[in-house]
């Protein structure tokens, strides 16, 4: 494998990971994302990580001549896997920054890169950009704004589905060039459901039946439509609602960071509410929201605060933010 350092500040991090990868141990240590709780350390067998890398290499037709670009920290499974893919193919990998603007530093045309949505959005907004053969993006849902930006380039962009426990993605969907919302399983992986929650079957890495926290519409054992997180789902008056779907509908219309949550309601069980991060005052009107949402999806209350808290890998810590926002007053959507 050939390594090129564009961001020299990452050299210690990369060398530490490579030392761990090439030592005599059969496993490495990784941390779960902490999206729904405290991150925990888990030990992962190197042979399973290699299999995951080979699965991605096969799906995206990568090889020894492929040029990879590292834009994610090796503290995350996604960052580790980029290096392992380059090691497995014996290809070339350029080490960029993990900043929003990382794609500004591309040295030349590259074949494969994994990004988070904010990095992809910045890249797509640039007029003069170096071509990337294949882009995968994960870590968070894709807003309608970003999805529209994805249509401006011909290189395929895939939204990935996976977690630390599945050693990166187990399913992908192309989000430009077609409107298919269906995720497709990689080789050797199939799915089932348990009370609408996705169950992942990936025997090659030791996962016979992993119950995820994701609510899906299962098309067949190899395809599904993602609806939202089970732990974020809201039952309002008997109607099950998924915050991520509502957030996607609002993403192009609300010019400030926000997310959807709920509060207890004596009549409905739960009422939808809106958490906003803004330094200035904001007024939310029902008539505006009804143009974007169904009547069941419209928030009844909202809070404005100074800012959201985040997990160690940059995702919004919803539970932590809701706790911090307890000092702010509820406002009624008029």
Could you tell me where in the chain the CATH 3.40.50.12780 domains are found? 2-229
Give the N- to C-terminal CA distance of the chain in Å, as an integer.
60
CATH of 234-332, one of 3.40.50.920, 2.60.40.10, 3.40.50.300, 3.30.300.30: 3.30.300.30
**C-alpha–C-alpha distance, residues 70 and 82, integer Å:** 6
CA–CA distance from 244 to each of 45, 74, 233 (Å)? 33, 27, 9
Name 134's Cβ contacts closer than 8 Å, sequence gap at least 6.
60, 111, 112, 113, 155, 156, 158
- Which pLDDT value is given to residue 36? 45
- Specify the CATH architecture of the domain 2-229: 3-Layer(aba) Sandwich (3.40)
CA–CA distance from 44 to each of 29, 37, 167, 180, 333 (Å)? 6, 20, 8, 33, 48
- Which pLDDT value is given to residue 313? 65
Listed residue (92, 148, 154) closest to 125, CA to CA = 148
**C-alpha–C-alpha distance, residues 243 and 5, integer Å:** 40
CA atoms within 13 A on the CB side of 145: 13
- Which pLDDT value is given to residue 142? 87
Host H or E run for residue 114: strand 110-115
- Which pLDDT value is given to residue 107? 85
Host H or E run for residue 187: none
Could you tell me where in the chain the CATH 3.30.300.30 domains are found? 234-332
CA atoms within 13 A on the CB side of 215: 16
Which pair of tokens denotes residue 210? Answer: 């992993």
CB atoms within 10 A of CB 309: 14
CB 83 within 8 A of CB 70: yes
Each residue's pLDDT tens digit in the chain (334 positions)?
Answer: 999 999 999 999 999 999 999 999 999 988 776 544 556 788 999 999 999 999 999 999 999 999 999 999 999 999 999 999 999 999 999 999 999 999 998 988 999 999 999 899 999 999 889 999 999 999 888 888 899 999 999 999 999 999 999 999 999 999 998 767 799 999 999 999 999 999 999 999 999 999 999 999 999 999 999 999 998 999 998 899 999 999 999 988 898 999 999 999 888 899 999 999 999 999 999 999 999 999 999 999 999 998 898 876 667 889 899 999 999 999 999 8
CB atoms within 10 A of CB 128: 4
163 forms bridges with which residues in the sheet? Answer: 168
The C-alpha angle with vertex 145 and arms to 67 and 125, in degrees rounded to 5, equals 50
Which pair of tokens denotes residue 164? Answer: 């630390």
């Amino acid at each position: 494998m050939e390594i090129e350092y564009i961001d020299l500040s990452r050299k210690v991090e990369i060398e530490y990971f490579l030392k761990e990868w090439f030592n005599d141990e059969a496993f490495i240590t990784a941390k779960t994302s902490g999206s729904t709780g405290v991150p925990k350390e888990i030990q992962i067998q190197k042979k399973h990580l290699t299999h995951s890398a080979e699965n991605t290499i096969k799906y995206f037709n990568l090889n020894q001549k492929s040029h990879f670009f590292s834009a994610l920290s090796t503290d995350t499974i996604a960052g580790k896997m980029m290096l392992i893919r380059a090691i497995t193919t014996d290809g070339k990998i350029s080490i960029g920054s993990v900043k929003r603007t990382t794609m500004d530093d591309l040295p030349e045309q590259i074949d494969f890169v994994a990004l988070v949505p904010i990095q992809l959005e910045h890249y797509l907004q640039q007029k003069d950009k170096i071509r990337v053969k294949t882009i995968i993006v994960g870590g968070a849902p894709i807003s309608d704004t970003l999805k529209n930006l994805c249509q401006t380039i011909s290189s395929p962009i895939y939204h990935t589905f996976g977690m630390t426990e599945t050693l990166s993605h187990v399913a992908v969907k192309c989000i430009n060039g077609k409107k298919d919302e269906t995720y497709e399983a990689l080789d050797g992986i199939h799915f089932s459901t348990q009370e609408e929650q996705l169950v992942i079957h990936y025997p090659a890495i030791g996962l016979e039946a992993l119950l995820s926290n994701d609510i899906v519409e299962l098309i067949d054992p190899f395809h599904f439509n993602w609806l939202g997180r089970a732990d974020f789902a809201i039952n309002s008056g008997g109607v099950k609602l998924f915050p991520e779907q509502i957030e996607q509908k609002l993403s192009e219309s609300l010019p400030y960071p926000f997310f959807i949550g709920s509060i207890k309601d004596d009549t409905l069980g739960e009422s939808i509410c809106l958490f906003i991060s803004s330094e200035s005052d904001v007024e939310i009107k029902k008539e505006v929201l009804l143009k974007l949402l169904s009547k069941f999806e419209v928030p009844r209350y909202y809070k404005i605060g100074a800012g959201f808290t985040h997990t160690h890998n940059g995702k919004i810590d919803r539970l932590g933010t809701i706790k911090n926002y307890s000092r702010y007053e509820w406002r009624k959507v008029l």
